Amino acid sequence: MKITIIFPARDFEVGKAMMPVMPLAPTLLAALTPEGHEVSLVDMIYGDRVDYESDCELAAITVRTPLAVAAYGIADNFRARGKTVILGGPHIFAFPEEAKQHASAVAIGEAEDLWTVILKDVQAGQLKDYYVCGPYDTESLNGSVYHQRQRPNLKNLPMMRRDLLPRDRYMMDSIFTTRGCPNHCRFCPVTPIFGPKIRHRPINEVVEEVGTLRKHYFNVDDSVFGHPQLVDQPEENKYYFDLYKQLAGLSPKRLWGGAGGLSAVNYKDGRKIIELAAESGLCSIAAGLESISVAGQKQSGAWRKLHFTSPDTFEIQNMKENIRIIQELGIEIMGFFVIGWDEDAPETYWRTLEFCDEMKIIPFILTLTPMPGSQIYDEYLKQGRIFTELSWDHYGGDSIVFKHPTMDPEEMFELNAQVLMQGYNMGRILARTFNTMKNRFSLSVGLNSFFTQLGMRKGFQERYKRKS
């Protein structure tokens, strides 16, 4: 069977201006496809176009919320030509029946234990409406259902099919080592989708795959340092000790980035894990700091991943100390902040930028977008605070999709534009780059920092120019 796997995009994507990273979802799905099928990949973010006149028999499309409108349009076009269409991805988790209107079948959950079953059913002419992997309630689904209740273990996975995309157009490969998140942040759907339990890929399989990667790669795990809720489990810490020791022994050593929590500094063996990660080539992390206020930490639920016992015990000074410790180990920090919590005000945008300036971290300051599948989205929807007249393509961070108690959407949008334009002026970019090189004197690391920030500046400029 001829299969086309599609990673959709809108007309404009901020991430496109940044350092190109090879997408993981389509390359993993291609790797899971049994021999005997002919597979092609389409990455629309970096210029691939969908060929509706191709002789493919099945189209598999990843659906993220801001791309749902685009994905549904692609799906409808293929179905009008008599093709089988399978939709999967995080948006499907929240709206499976909506997605089914555009698909032959819908996949909910992780693909490892579903994809081969779907392909067999297609070939046998016995395709069901829904394929579900995970401990989810399926009683509300209107149609036939295949349900694998256990989430997949991550052993013996094939290597990603990176050969199916033009590798030279990406500056970084991508990989994952774990799935799951115990943090339950109220604005994030990761815990409901992947579960609170951390599942690990075998270390030897990760190391073997990293050995096939190029000089730079990105680890898409929720946290490359582990999680504060699990640090008393010896096997959890041992996994990271052993993994990073082996990665440090690779020749040549790769430079890599990933998402990492500051709280690792505080918990048992956490600092040792950070040190070993740095030795293995970790040079930058995306850290979800979310808010500089107690009220913001409380409403977001992010205090848990920052290792505070309650939101009331949150201390900004502790956050600052942890940032300095990680930076001194040669790891650059991109701080992710969400503004728009109920007690936030216009000055919150500027105080957050001042915090980033003081700590010399790259500012990723965004207005809250309540994502489907998260607690905040469900809560705001019940309260009538979601602007339900807006289509899903407004959920990419470039629109305000909810009602704030004191700030109107136009004000929040303009404030976000102003703070990011100031945050990415050339003086600030250079200051942060020099600070990164001071902590890890490497021309490659310095250039990566500089050009990543230039790309972000370009992306944000294009975003707000389009909306002005």
The stretches in the chain having pLDDT less than 70 are 11-19, 228-234, 466-468
pLDDT of residue 307: 72
CB atoms within 10 A of CB 468: 8
* DSSP string computed for 8-66: ---S--GGGGS--B--SHHHHHHHHSPTT-EEEEEEGGGT----TTS--SEEEEE--GG
pTM: 0.92
pLDDT at site 323: 95
387/302 Cα distance (integer angstroms): 25
Q: How far is CA 460 from CA 361, 377, 414, 454, in A?
A: 17, 25, 12, 10
For the chain, domain boundaries: 2-148, 182-467
Which three-class secondary structure string do you get for 326-341?
A: HHHCCCEEEEEEEECC
Residue 340, token pair as written in the block? 């728009």
Q: CATH 3.20.20.70: does it fit domain 2-148?
A: no
Residue 349: which H helix or E strand, with range?
Answer: helix 346-359
Q: Which amino acid is at 443?
A: L
- Looking at residue 186, its pLDDT comes to 86
User: Which pLDDT value is given to residue 408?
Assistant: 95
Q: Could you report the per-residue pLDDT of 79-94, keeping only the tens digit for each?
A: 999 999 999 999 999 9
- What CATH number matches the domain at 182-467, 3.30.9.10, 1.10.1380.10, 3.80.30.20, 2.40.50.140? 3.80.30.20
Cis bond before residue 196 (omega within 30° of 0): no
310 CB-contact burial (10 Å; exposed 0-12 / middle 13-18 / buried 19+): exposed
Checking DSSP bridges between strand 199-200 and strand 178-179, what pairing results, if any? antiparallel
